[in-house]
Amino acid sequence: MPYLLEMKNITKTFGSVKAIDNVSLRLNAGEIVSLCGENGSGKSTLMKVLCGIYPHGSYEGEIIFAGEEIQASHIRDTERKGIAIIHQELALVKELTVLENIFLGNEITHNGIMDYDLMTLRCQKLLAQVSLSISPDTRVGDLGLGQQQLVEIAKALNKQVRLLILDEPTASLTEQETSVLLDIIRDLQQHGIACIYISHKLNEVKAISDTICVIRDGQHIGTRDAAGMSEDDIITMMVGRELTALYPNEPHTTGDEILRIEHLTAWHPVNRHIKRVNDVSFSLKRGEILGIAGLVGAGRTETIQCLFGVWPGQWEGKIYIDGKQVDIRNCQQAIAQGIAMVPEDRKRDGIVPVMAVGKNITLAALNKFTGGISQLDDAAEQNVFWNQSSNSKLKRRPPTLLLDV
């Protein structure tokens, strides 16, 4: 029986860098293949080649789908073939209804007039297929992330999908929402729909996969039956060496107290009667890692935002840096105190996507590259960029680094 998909010897370069180097991938109808690899290994690039985001001619190699070679110039070309991709950042318009999102760009019309009755019936069937008990008229912005993910799948099913690509689909989902999603994928498998599943959560990879394909540094390391692989096997293939411990203990010492928070309380930005953080106190020593745990809505993010000066509502409490009380009401004041923050939503709050990587790296410290005048020192900026990009660790670690994950 011929394969549903064959990607043969795919190579994709960006300048002098080979993002994908002679990678091949194949799968059958109804098969679930997990694509594993570290960040930057080439997984997403390979899928963008498959979907036509990187058009034919911009890469080397051959793509055969359902017995025909694909030479896509646009993602719509592959969608018409039955290939759909759902990214981690969902492509839904939150101001529109579920129905409007599912049929966006694919509306049912008669004589130029949209047939809402027929689209409603079709939408109800699609929602039932993904186990969503909601009205087609529900605004997408009113749904939870798990429900929005299922709306994306319903949207793909509306395009007569034969191969569904899921790129980090559970990154923002709860365990219950993840369980529902995996059940939906298994149900689609029973209807002959193949799936390429990309995730760093190896327990999910093991639970859902028929086959596991590992990519490292843009190269195909191996493809094996999931049943014969352990999570340790996958990790070993991903990193290129056997790990004795996933999180090995490294000897280190802690120093004096560097940060202390006393009686931090923060109120809802709109409703002053709602406390999002209530009388929280903690301290941190040099060289220490402090974990802040809690359920969704417990106030973890709000606590960090207060400390970095970006909480939009009112808050009170005391912050001490090296034993000295400081007042932090904006991010500039936090940075001046040696505090850095990696926000939960990197794309929305952490970077400017339309700007180059180097510009993003130096954006929070532009005063270091002006030399007292308004013009930027491009050479100094470039030097910092190359130093940082050539080392996975920060060259100069800030005294306090906030990670909201």
Residue 398 has a pLDDT of 46
Tokens of 332: 């500039």
Burial, 88: exposed, middle or buried (Cβ in 10 Å; 0-12, 13-18, 19+)? Answer: middle
The DSSP bridge partners found for residue 65 are 5, 68
pLDDT per residue rounded down to tens, the chain (405 residues) = 789 999 999 999 988 889 999 999 999 999 999 999 998 899 999 999 999 999 999 999 999 999 999 999 999 999 999 999 988 778 899 999 999 999 998 899 998 899 999 999 999 999 998 889 999 999 999 988 889 989 999 998 998 899 999 998 888 778 888 888 899 999 999 999 999 999 999 999 999 999 999 999 999 999 999 999 999 999 999 988 777 666 677 788 889 999 999 999 999 998 889 999 999 999 999 999 999 988 767 899 999 999 999 999 999 999 999 999 999 999 999 999 999 998 877 777 888 878 777 777 888 877 777 766 667 777 777 777 666 655 544 333 344 445 454
**According to the model, what pLDDT value does residue 249 have?**
76
**Which is it for strands 275-285 and 109-110: parallel, antiparallel or unpaired?**
unpaired
Contacts 24+ apart (CB under 8 A), 224-233: 226/34, 230/206, 231/202, 231/203, 231/206
* Domains (range + CATH), the chain: 5-239 (3.40.50.300), 257-403 (3.40.50.300)
Distance CA 260, CA 302 (A): 17
* Structure confidence at residue 396 (pLDDT): 37
* pLDDT on residue 372: 60
Question: β-pairing, 211-216 with 257-267?
Answer: unpaired
What's the confidence (pLDDT) of residue 353?
A: 79
